[in-house]
Amino acid sequence: MPKIHGTRRYDQKILIYFTTLGCRLIVHTSSIVIRHERYSYKADVYSYALVILQIFTRKEPFDEVDAIEAARLVAIEERRPRISSSIPRIISELIEKCWADPPSSRPSFELICEELSVMRPLFTCHGSVD
């Protein structure tokens, strides 16, 4: 494997992998998936948190860095994007639950749906979203 200046061998492996992949979808990917570790549907719960964040901010997570740096921040440093103070607290709490570590502490999609059902009246116009 070629040496990339200033990176540890493990970092190099991740950076080379995503350089060849070359896509921005990495910003929605859980660290355990990036590191090619064994994972469950809880990795999708992490991704869902980032989709919720993107819906409310109208910005791609980690948009201030390139895809390779985003992969490094997530996989090596276990970083999460900043949650804007403009996002309703009930939503930011859901986001934080969905990207929690360890992954086993993340809610199931069934529980997420239950929470969203409770929130629905808070985000409707004149009582209807239909």
CATH of the domain at 76: 1.10.510.10
Q: Which domain holds residue 58?
A: 9-122
Give a yes or no: residue 21 inside a domain: yes
Count of domains forming the chain: 1
Q: Is residue 1 part of a domain?
A: no
Q: What is the pTM of this model?
A: 0.74
User: Which DSSP symbol is given to 78?
Assistant: -
State the pLDDT confidence band at 1, using cuts at 50, 70 and 90. very low
pLDDT of residue 39: 83
Per-residue b or e along 32-62, where b marks 16 or more CB atoms closer than 10 Å to that residue's CB: bbbbeeeeeebbbbbbbbbebbbebbeeebb
pLDDT at 25: 57
Average pLDDT of the residues in 44-60: 93
The Cα–Cα gap between 123 and 119 comes to: 7
Does residue 128 form part of some domain?
A: no
Determine the residue type at 12.
Q
Q: Does residue 85 fall inside a structural domain?
A: yes
pLDDT reported for residue 7: 43
- Is 25 part of a structural domain of the chain? yes
Mean pLDDT, range 104-109, rounded to an integer: 96
Higher pLDDT, 33 or 56: 56
56 located within any domain: yes
